[in-house]
């Protein structure tokens, strides 16, 4: 096998590219040039390393979860604890990198989209740290289901703009951020939060998150003496998954991505883009997407705001076609049960997004040979989801589940 790890945009096979208005091309070129120069600049590398160590709290640990593993079978399960990062998820890895680039480009304002609010919170955090103006676009529906994160962003000094057009969720927040960027591109950096969007975002965001897999690979070798049988993660846009997968692309390690099957694939109310989507162009890149026969984007559905997105990063589309990674759907109910399972067996409360990976491993892990080891990216902590969880299990209305 050739080196899959070396693949860099603009294209991953037929996917990726730059399907955006001409108005953004100069900014994308500037971003790409700045990034390519920075990633080999010792000053930038040192600055990023120090921030990762002293601010984010890297390296994140891995935790073996033997009691949870018993639910799966005769396997060992390890969690890469991105939930322990500052701000509570993997999102900060990319945000710190891009905020440093914004400074290099002398941009004074960053804008970001957010679904669950984790990327918005991370962006607001970096803006506070670096003294940048920050505007976060968030679908009106999401501002309601993630009200606590709206408050966190405001506390950090960011302006949160509820988006009321279209389906009023993440995809519309990205549209609105793109419109803002087209208008204010001279002083503004669009801090895109996932491995989607026009080149160079899919490659650059992946690179900033690839530290997850790099650390975990070494940690697994040190702890178990071998690579895991499987590396698993949830997939919305796909940033935490690609961050984990990238280090293992050229190894004999199975890669499992778990998408949100919402209320069930058969109901049509899901966000299983790779399983059920068709090739198209959304938000600047060619990839799989959920669309009707006219190419109109179809609204996705998931209990988890962070996976509720009808597109997916182009590198995942490529890995799917190459059959290098396998993607499966996990329903809302399966994810919620797995979230509770991990909490009650190991005392770790995962984000609902992350719980899709836990549930997927419960479903698929039993098929592995005895003694296999599974590395799961625990991409975020569940504190932000307590209202949804409380309602789902009946903790908040006084009834039992």
Of 276 and 281, nearer to another protein (C-beta) is: 281
- Nearest Cα neighbor of 233 from 210, 251, 250 is 210
Orientation angle between helical segments 332-346 and 352-365, nearest 10 degrees: 90
Of 149 and 169, nearer to another protein (C-beta) is: 169
* Residue bearing tokens 């919170």: 121
**Residue 270 and residue 302 in contact, taking contact as beta carbons nearer than 8 Å:** yes
Minimum CB separation of residue 272 from another protein in Å reads: 19
Q: How many CA atoms within 13 Å lie on the side-chain side of 267?
A: 15
* 379 counts as catalytic: yes
Give the binding site for another protein (CB under 8 A): 17-23, 25-27, 165-166, 171-172, 175, 178-179, 182-186, 278-284, 289, 291, 293-297
- Which residues neighbour 106 within 8 Å (Cβ) at sequence distance 6 or greater? none
Of 282 and 303, nearer to another protein (C-beta) is: 282
Catalytic residue among 32, 82, 113, 353: 113
- Which residues neighbour 399 within 8 Å (Cβ) at sequence distance 6 or greater? none
d(CA 371, CA 365): 11
Of 223 and 279, nearer to another protein (C-beta) is: 279
Minimum CB separation of residue 359 from another protein in Å reads: 30
d(CA 364, CA 352): 19
Let me know if 111 is exposed, middle or buried by CB neighbors in 10 A (0-12, 13-18, 19+): buried
Catalytic residue among 60, 287, 302, 379: 379
Cite the DSSP H helix spans in 225-325: 239-245, 273-276, 314-321
* 70 counts as catalytic: no
Task: Output the six-digit token pair for 248.
Answer: 């293992």
Minimum CB separation of residue 132 from another protein in Å reads: 20
Minimum CB separation of residue 6 from another protein in Å reads: 23
d(CA 262, CA 113): 22
* 60 counts as catalytic: no
Of 71 and 182, nearer to another protein (C-beta) is: 182
Minimum CB separation of residue 90 from another protein in Å reads: 26
Quote the longest CA-to-CA distance of the chain: 58
Report the alpha-carbon angle 174-169-232, nearest 5. Answer: 80
Minimum CB separation of residue 139 from another protein in Å reads: 13
Element (H, E) at 206: helix 201-209
Of 23 and 344, nearer to another protein (C-beta) is: 23
Q: How many CA atoms within 13 Å lie on the side-chain side of 172?
A: 18
Of 58 and 283, nearer to another protein (C-beta) is: 283
Minimum CB separation of residue 230 from another protein in Å reads: 34
- Which residues neighbour 269 within 8 Å (Cβ) at sequence distance 6 or greater? 262, 263, 301
Positions marked catalytic: 91, 113, 379
């Amino acid at each position: 096998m050739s080196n899959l790890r070396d693949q860099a945009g603009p294209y991953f096979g037929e996917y990726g590219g730059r399907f955006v208005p001409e108005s953004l091309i100069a900014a994308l070129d500037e971003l790409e040039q700045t990034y390519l120069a920075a990633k080999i600049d010792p000053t930038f590398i040192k600055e990023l390393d120090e921030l990762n160590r002293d601010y984010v709290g890297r390296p994140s640990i891995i935790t073996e979860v033997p009691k949870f593993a018993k639910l799966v079978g005769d396997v060992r399960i390890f969690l890469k604890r991105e939930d322990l990062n500052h701000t509570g998820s993997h999102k900060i890895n990319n945000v710190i990198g891009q905020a440093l680039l914004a400074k290099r480009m002398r941009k004074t304002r960053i804008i970001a989209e957010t679904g669950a609010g984790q990327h918005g919170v991370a962006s607001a955090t970096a803006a506070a740290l670096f003294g940048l103006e920050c505007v976060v676009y968030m679908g009106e529906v999401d501002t309601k289901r993630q009200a606590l994160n709206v408050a966190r962003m405001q506390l950090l000094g960011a302006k949160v703009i509820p988006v009321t057009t279209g389906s009023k969720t993440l995809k519309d927040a990205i549209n609105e951020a793109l419109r803002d960027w087209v208008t204010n591109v001279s002083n503004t950096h669009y801090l895109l939060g996932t491995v989607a969007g026009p080149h160079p975002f899919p490659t650059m965001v992946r690179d900033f998150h690839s530290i997850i897999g790099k650390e975990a690979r070494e940690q697994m070798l040190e702890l178990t003496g071998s690579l895991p049988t499987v590396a698993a993660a949830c997939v919305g846009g796909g940033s935490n998954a690609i961050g984990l997968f990238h280090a293992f692309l050229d190894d004999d390690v199975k890669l499992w991505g778990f998408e949100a099957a919402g209320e069930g694939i058969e109901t049509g109310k899901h966000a299983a883009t790779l399983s059920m989507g068709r090739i198209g162009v959304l938000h600047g890149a060619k990839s799989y997407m959920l669309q009707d026969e006219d190419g109109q984007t179809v609204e996705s559905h998931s209990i988890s705001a962070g996976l509720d997105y009808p597109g997916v990063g182009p590198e995942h589309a490529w890995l799917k076609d190459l059959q290098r990674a396998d993607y499966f759907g996990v329903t809302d109910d399966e994810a919620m049960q797995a979230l509770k399972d991990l909490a009650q067996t190991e005392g770790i409360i995962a984000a609902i997004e992350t719980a899709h990976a836990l549930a997927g491993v419960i479903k698929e892990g039993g098929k592995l040979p005895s003694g296999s080891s599974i590395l799961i990216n625990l991409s975020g902590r569940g504190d932000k989801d307590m209202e949804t969880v409380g309602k789902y299990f009946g903790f908040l209305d006084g009834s039992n589940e």
